[in-house]
């Protein structure tokens, strides 16, 4: 019978020796910790890899070392630092949450209180409660789903199996060191119980893994076939005037919300005109894949013959490529090649 008394000791002993060193994590056995870096890292890690998040996290902590500092930050500065991480609603919720927490004098200490904050759902609230406060909450991300699916040889495909896998994971959560245990499960999935070619021979849970015993570990978890992503098209204008180009702040809500961007239309539900009169030259298309659709955006470059009707002129030397969202970086790279060529 698998339960926390069987799984946790072996997994924690493995974690004590092999825990990943991450900038937001304290060493194994550290006990309760500041919820701010836990919360910040977990929000950044939503639908994003550890490798991509490391440098962003370090920059955020250097600029805004605590929740009060982040709450007082300028929205545009935070959005600029977030650029490239994608899913910009997370950055807007990050600010809203920081301001609510700062006004309350600190983070709630229960999962229920945490989950009531902007941008914090079931997973993030459980992670903060377990890691920061050492509450025995069950933390289930994609890595944990994979580990549990293999431990119990769950054949039901994802996403239908999510509730069942969460219930099974809850039977394994220990009362002691729940924060280390949650991170140990994540590390096991990220480094040993990997999606392809799992390293079963060195897994600390090898002896109790049903999928390994049945020879099907690499086949699990099964996944339902995905429907193809819808395709969209649109236009984007890189409008020059001398040594400046037009940029605009996108609406706070919606795709790429709150970010600096080149004026565009047709792909995001907004049927808008070009940013002014010009002889537009078609440079070609950039392709960008969002969560729910794929986009082909036709890039037009032109020299304005009058004042811009949308956005503001920004000197070329002041354009920070890193502050642009990923889609607009592709647009800028194409336009800059044409401008410099």
* DSSP annotation string for 253-281: SSTTTT-EE--EESSSS-----SS-B--E
Please count the other Cβ atoms lying within 10 Å of the Cβ belonging to residue 161.
21
**Distance between CA 276 and CA 226 in Å, rounded?**
41
- Average pLDDT rounded to a whole number, residues 216-243: 94
* CATH code reported for the domain at 4-219: 1.10.340.30
- Average pLDDT rounded to a whole number, residues 188-193: 97
Would you say 262 and 305 are in contact if contact means Cβ atoms under 8 Å apart?
no
Would you say 246 and 275 are in contact if contact means Cβ atoms under 8 Å apart?
yes
In this predicted model, what pLDDT tens digit does every residue of 192-209 receive, in sequence order?
Answer: 999 999 999 999 999 999
Check if 312 is active-site: no
Higher pLDDT, 292 or 204: 204
pLDDT at 4 over 80: no
Q: Which pLDDT score is estimated for 85? A: 87
Q: Which pLDDT score is estimated for 1? A: 55
- Average pLDDT rounded to a whole number, residues 273-284: 94
For the chain, the domains span 4-219, 231-340
Would you say 64 and 73 are in contact if contact means Cβ atoms under 8 Å apart?
yes
pLDDT at 235 over 70: yes
Q: Which pLDDT score is estimated for 6? A: 81
In this predicted model, what pLDDT tens digit does every residue of 8-48 receive, in sequence order?
Answer: 999 999 999 999 999 999 999 988 899 999 999 999 998 88
Structure tokens at 186: 């994540």
DSSP letters for 53-84? HHHHHHHHHHH--SHHHHHTS-HHHHHHHHTT
Structure tokens at 297: 């955006």
Percent above pLDDT 70 for the chain: 99
pLDDT at 188 over 90: yes
Q: Which pLDDT score is estimated for 320? A: 87
Q: What is the dihedral of CA 70, 71, 77, 83, to 10 degrees?
A: 70
* CATH code reported for the domain at 231-340: 3.90.79.10
Stated length of the chain:
341
Would you say 44 and 22 are in contact if contact means Cβ atoms under 8 Å apart?
no
Q: Which pLDDT score is estimated for 323? A: 86
Hey, is 323 helix, strand or coil? helix
The pLDDT mean for the chain works out to 94
- Residue 263: CB partners within 8 Å, gap ≥ 6? 236, 237, 239, 246, 248, 272, 274, 275, 310, 311
- Average pLDDT rounded to a whole number, residues 166-184: 96
Pick the catalytic residue from 42, 137, 145, 248: 42
**Distance between CA 89 and CA 258 in Å, rounded?**
9
């Amino acid at each position: 019978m698998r339960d926390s008394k069987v799984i946790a000791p072996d997994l924690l002993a493995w974690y004590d020796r092999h825990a990943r060193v991450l900038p937001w994590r304290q060493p194994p056995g550290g006990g309760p910790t500041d919820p701010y870096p836990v919360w910040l890292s977990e929000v950044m890690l939503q639908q994003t890899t550890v490798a991509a998040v490391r440098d962003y996290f370090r920059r955020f902590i250097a600029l805004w070392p605590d929740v009060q500092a982040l709450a007082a930050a300028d929205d545009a500065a935070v959005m600029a630092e977030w650029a490239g991480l994608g899913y910009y609603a997370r950055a807007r919720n990050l600010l809203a949450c920081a301001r609510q927490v700062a006004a309350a004098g600190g983070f709630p200490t229960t999962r229920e209180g945490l989950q009531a904050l902007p941008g914090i759902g079931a997973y993030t609230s459980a992670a903060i409660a377990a890691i920061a406060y050492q509450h025995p909450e069950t933390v289930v991300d994609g890595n944990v789903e994979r580990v549990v699916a293999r431990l119990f040889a769950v054949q039901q495909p994802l996403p239908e199996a999510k509730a069942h896998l969460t219930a099974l994971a809850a039977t394994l959560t220990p009362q002691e060191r729940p924060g280390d245990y949650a991170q140990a499960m994540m590390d096991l999935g990220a480094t040993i119980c990997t999606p392809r070619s799992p390293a079963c021979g060195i897994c600390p849970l090898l002896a109790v893994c049903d999928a390994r015993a049945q020879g099907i570990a690499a086949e699990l978890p099964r996944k339902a076939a995905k429907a193809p992503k819808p395709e969209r098209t649109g236009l984007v204008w890189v409008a020059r005037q001398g040594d400046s180009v037009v940029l605009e702040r996108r609406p706070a809500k919606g795709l790429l919300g709150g970010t600096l961007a080149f004026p565009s239309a047709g792909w995001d539900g907004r049927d808008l005109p070009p940013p002014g009169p010009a002889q537009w030259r078609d440079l070609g298309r950039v392709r960008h894949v969002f969560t729910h659709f794929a986009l082909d955006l036709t890039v037009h470059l032109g020299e304005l013959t009058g004042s811009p009707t949308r956005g503001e002129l920004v000197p070329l030397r002041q354009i920070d490529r890193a502050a642009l969202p990923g889609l607009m970086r592709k647009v800028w790279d194409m336009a800059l090649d044409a401008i410099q060529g």
